[in-house]
């Protein structure tokens, strides 16, 4: 017989320490920048080295904004102007096509820092984001910007091209969603395409086949498959932390596709490549009513695409819960 369950919620913004350019092997191009990776042959050390070399150029030239600066914009409830989005697609892709196409849409969010032992920039924290349009608007999790640490914040595509995060456009504490804007032209080679926008599809039913492209545990562009296992409404927000603040319930998708720390903000994709939701957190069910009890199941919590769409409506037409979640 199964014992009673306890819940342990985990937020999926990965902390990485001590990754310096000088510590990482890589293949290097003509200008000292490691060569770009293809989706099915990604080499993590080379990817990180390329990312850090591009990030160093941006940081040292003063083109980045810090986490502390971006935190000041977290109370923005919804966008001020309509956001151009792609229409949802009805054309199904093969599974390899889905991965290949959406690798061009998924970005790595990184907080950078300098230690007291060298002058190199290091990767401090890492999460995931995805492009909503060609103008540099991305979706990710709000808790990515709630850390106590500081440092420049950047986004990087699958080739290690780095883009400064210029602005937080809108957030929802109850849904744990942040809409941000990058400059999609900085550091990208001339003529190279920018991040591929992902259409949003609201209301995907239970049983919908889904895939997730994310960066769990410093392993970049991992692709997992599963389905939507449940749709539910959670009072106090998706993480249950907003009771008495926003009083706005969240539409939560439980999915069976795996993800972990570093996956926060990843798109939950249907077989046509639409985002039906976004990765937020996990909850571990323990036996015997104790956290020390045997772990029996991990519930994977995602926010529905409709909650992202709501933030993309101008402020005059929508009210979104404000305030800050408390995260471990």
More confident residue, 41 or 8: 41
The mean predicted confidence, pLDDT, of the chain is 83
Residues 109-153 have pLDDT tens digits of 999 999 999 999 999 889 999 999 999 999 999 999 998 889 999
Q: Which of 308, 196, 211 is nearest to 268 (CA)?
A: 211
**CATH topology match: 14-182 vs 199-317:** yes
Residues 173-189 have pLDDT tens digits of 889 999 999 999 887 77
DSSP run (H or E) holding 96 = helix 95-103
Q: Which of 20, 51, 1, 34 is nearest to 215 (CA)?
A: 51
Residue 28 DSSP symbol? B
More confident residue, 296 or 323: 296
Say if CB 184 and CB 161 are below 8 A apart.
no
Q: What is the DSSP string of 81-94?
A: S----PPPP-----
Q: How far apart are CA 218 and CA 125, in angstroms?
A: 10
- 14-182 topology per CATH: Thrombin, subunit H (2.40.10)
φ/ψ of residue 173, rounded to 5: -70, -40
Residues 146-169 have pLDDT tens digits of 988 899 999 999 999 999 999 999
Q: How far apart are CA 299 and CA 155, in angstroms?
A: 28
The residues, ordered by sequence, that sit 6+ positions from 265 with a Cβ below 8 Å of its Cβ are 109, 127, 128, 129, 130, 139, 140, 141, 144, 278, 279
At 257, the pLDDT band (50, 70, 90 cuts) reads very high
Length of the chain counted residue by residue: 328
Task: Compute the average pLDDT of residues 99-113.
Answer: 96
User: What pLDDT, on the 0 to 100 scale, is given for residue 185?
Assistant: 86
Q: How far apart are CA 171 and CA 102, in angstroms?
A: 24
Task: Compute the average pLDDT of residues 89-113.
Answer: 96
Q: Determine how many CB atoms are found less than 10 A away from the CB of residue 238.
A: 29
Task: Compute the average pLDDT of residues 301-307.
Answer: 95
User: What pLDDT, on the 0 to 100 scale, is given for residue 315?
Assistant: 64
User: What pLDDT, on the 0 to 100 scale, is given for residue 31?
Assistant: 42
- 199-317 topology per CATH: Thrombin, subunit H (2.40.10)
Burial class (CB in 10 A: 0-12, 13-18, 19+), 141: buried
For the chain, give every domain's residue range: 14-182, 199-317
In 3-state terms the chain splits into helix, strand, coil percentages (rounded to 5) of 15, 35, 50
At 325, the pLDDT band (50, 70, 90 cuts) reads very low
Say if CB 112 and CB 236 are below 8 A apart.
no
Residues 58-90 have pLDDT tens digits of 999 999 999 999 999 999 888 878 888 999 999
**Whole-prediction pTM:** 0.84
From first CA to last CA, the distance across the chain in angstroms is 32
């Amino acid at each position: 017989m199964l014992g009673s369950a306890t819940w342990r919620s985990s937020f999926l913004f990965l902390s990485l320490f001590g990754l310096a350019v000088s510590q990482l092997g890589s293949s290097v191009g003509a200008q000292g920048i490691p060569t770009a990776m293809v989706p099915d042959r990604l080499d993590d050390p080379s990817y990180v080295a390329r990312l850090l070399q591009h990030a160093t150029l941006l940081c040292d030239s003063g083109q980045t904004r810090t986490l502390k600066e971006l935190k000041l914009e977290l109370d923005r409830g919804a966008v001020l102007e309509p956001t151009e989005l792609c229409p949802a697609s009805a054309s199904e892709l093969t599974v390899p096509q889905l991965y290949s196409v959406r690798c061009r849409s998924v970005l790595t969010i990184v907080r950078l820092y300098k230690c007291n032992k060298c002058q190199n920039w290091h990767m401090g924290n890492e999460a995931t984001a995805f492009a909503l349009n060609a103008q540099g608007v991305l979706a990710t999790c709000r808790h990515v910007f709630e850390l106590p640490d500081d440092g420049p914040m950047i986004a990087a595509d699958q080739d290690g091209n780095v883009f400064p995060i210029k602005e937080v456009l809108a957030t929802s504490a109850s849904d744990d969603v942040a809409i941000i804007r990058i400059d999609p032209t900085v550091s990208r080679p001339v003529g190279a395409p920018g991040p591929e926008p992902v259409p949003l599809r609201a209301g995907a039913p239970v049983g919908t086949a889904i895939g997730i492209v994310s960066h769990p545990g410093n392993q970049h562009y991992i692709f997992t498959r599963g389905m939507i296992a449940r749709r539910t409404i959670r009072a106090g927000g998706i993480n249950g932390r907003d009771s008495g603040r926003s009083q706005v319930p969240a539409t939560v998708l439980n999915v069976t596709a795996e993800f972990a720390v570093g996956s926060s903000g990843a798109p939950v994709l249907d077989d046509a490549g639409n985002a039906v939701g976004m990765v937020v957190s996990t909850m571990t069910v323990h036996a015997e009513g104790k956290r020390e009890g045997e772990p029996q199941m991990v519930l994977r919590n995602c926010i529905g695409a409709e909650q992202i769409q709501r933030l993309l409506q101008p402020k005059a037409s929508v009210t979104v819960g404000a305030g800050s979640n408390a995260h471990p």
